[in-house]
Amino acid sequence: MKRILLPLITFLALCPMLRAQVSNPNNKLRMAEYAISQFYVDTVNEDKLVEAAIEAMLSKLDPHSAYSSPEEVKALNEPLQGTFSGIGVSFNVTNDTLRISSLVSGGPSERVGVLPGDRIIAVNDTAIAGVKMPQADMMKKLRGPKGSKVDIKVLRKSQAAADTIDFRITRDDIPIYSVGASYMVDDATGYVRIDRFAMDTGKEVAEALKKLRAKGMKNLILDLVDNTGGYLDASVEVLGELLTPGSLTVYTEGERSPRHENPARPSGKKPLFEDGRLVVMVNQNSASAAEITAGAIQDWDRGLVVGRRTFGKGLVQRPIPFPDGSMIRLTVAHYYTPSGRNIQRPYTLGDQETYARDILDRLDSGELMHADSVKHDDSLRTETLRLGRTIYGGGGIEPDRFVALDTTEYTRYYRNVMAKGVLIKYAVDYADAHRKELRKRYKTDDQFVKDFKVTPEMLAELYDAAEKAGVEPDPEQAAKSEPIFSMIIKALIGRDVYDSPTYFKVYNLHDPIFMEALRLINSPEYDSLLK
């Protein structure tokens, strides 16, 4: 017993300040860390111990309070801050090779003559192709401080031969766009897709709306499908172009955070699209700022929400940075829509596993496939602010028009082909081999979308490539998946030969949520639902 007590007595003697406060539970963690650092039998990494303790504490709270290392903080912030320094290319990695799919217009790579389709095989004399280098490591080699130089070697293929070319590129600031596509669907209907709510999203959306209005836009489809959120202010800025100025967009409130309201503020004297039909596309992956946007539009009866119930992420995180660049994102309040709906779906403190299973539970319960499987809690029933339409709280934004998830084309054979990367490689190789021919035949991407067809011969080539890659043939399942195979091949070729928005011009014509949004916006039913 004496041998056990002696170290404790020694420990307390060594730290009189802690000894005086030993009865205070708030100091137990500090005392435990000090004891381990002073008396543990082996050498330990104190920084890792402290990080583990922080992560353990946060795991007992809500599902969105989290600790991030310095590297994770940088990765989290970069897509939201709007720029990074690099060479200005978008790329895919197939067959262990980085292949450039598109260039930033006027960016560093375009200025020196790099072309879409080029394969980067070496960076600063270090091979990156055929060496199984992780994609993250490839990106690190290409990125760097603005003004710094990087040497790359590319392999350029043509129908006749393949050549290697050396380039020296001066890195520059590269914009990260949050508006993934904007175009006129028909003579009166514009489409804007927001991938994330970042620092410049409000400006990007305003610019897109101006261009679409100049082309005659009277109706708008706003695509927030798979948009996982981002900055609250960006959502408020977007809503400022869609709602009457001064309208409440969202408010936040917590136990130790007083209510804070965010009114709609247009970038100019008046909103860019205050009138006109508006339909918002959402699904089960639309979260946070995307839910704020959809919720405000629904609450004010400004437009219709189409798709499936959104994710239900309505907790406000305050970043608490540490000197080493790491950070805690601590939940301090809830988001509420203008009608008072709490966006956050229910959770149990410390039960991360059940929370993470929610989407799978929705799938198992049939909620994603059948409108009558969606359950409502009458105690959370409320009304929209202008027309008094019935809406429900309780987590996520429930659409005005449900669109079922259709999985019939997603066969096991399709999943195996995609998992092997065969489809992407086939589309990339086809675009490489036929780029000039396609550009000559289809002068615009609209013409490509209208007239290009994926032929049975192309599908047969895909299936042969899949078999060579180790995917067991299954003609019956391949036939079921033929529509989605054809659509993705065409969309990827279009993106490669023309630009990123071309992908959505093709994809949307196959997307049930988009097709329902387009049908509604051009139907008398739109007015009947908003009366």
Name, in order, each residue with C-beta under 8 angstroms of 125's C-beta and a sequence gap of 6 or more: 151
Q: In a 3-state reduction of DSSP, which class is residue 130? A: coil
Collect contacts of 474-483 with beta carbons under 8 A, ≥24 apart. Answer: 474/411, 474/412, 474/413, 477/411, 477/412, 477/413, 477/414, 478/411, 478/413, 480/408, 480/409, 480/411, 481/409, 481/410, 481/411, 481/413, 481/414, 483/409, 483/510
Please state the φ and ψ torsions of residue 465, each to the nearest 5 degrees.
Answer: -65, -40
Distances (CA, A) of 50 to 29, 57, 383: 9, 11, 48
Name, in order, each residue with C-beta under 8 angstroms of 344's C-beta and a sequence gap of 6 or more: 312, 313, 314, 315, 334, 335, 395
Structure-token match 């003697």, residue found: 13
User: Catalytic site residues?
Assistant: 288, 299, 313
Task: Give dist(CA 56, CA 285) in Å, integer.
Answer: 27
Q: What does DSSP assign to residue 342? A: B
Cβ atoms of residues 198 and 80 within 8 Å: yes
Name, in order, each residue with C-beta under 8 angstroms of 436's C-beta and a sequence gap of 6 or more: none
Cβ atoms of residues 167 and 125 within 8 Å: no
Cβ atoms of residues 443 and 503 within 8 Å: no
CA atoms within 13 A on the CB side of 440: 4
How many degrees, rounded to 5, is the angle at CA 274 between CA 270 and CA 276? 145
Name, in order, each residue with C-beta under 8 angstroms of 226's C-beta and a sequence gap of 6 or more: 283, 285, 286
Buried (b) or exposed (e) across 434-457, using 16+ Cβ within 10 A? ebeebeeebeebeebbeebebeee
Quick one: the chain helix, strand, coil %, rounded to 5?
A: 40, 20, 35
DSSP string, 160-222: S-EEEEEEEEE-EEEE--SEEEEEESSSSEEEEEES-B-TTHHHHHHHHHHHHHHTT--EEEE
Please state the φ and ψ torsions of residue 144, each to the nearest 5 degrees.
Answer: 175, 180
Task: Give dist(CA 127, CA 109) in Å, integer.
Answer: 19
What does the block give as tokens for 377?
């809690």
CA atoms within 13 A on the CB side of 84: 18
Q: Which of 405, 413, 404 is nearest to 485 (CA)?
A: 413
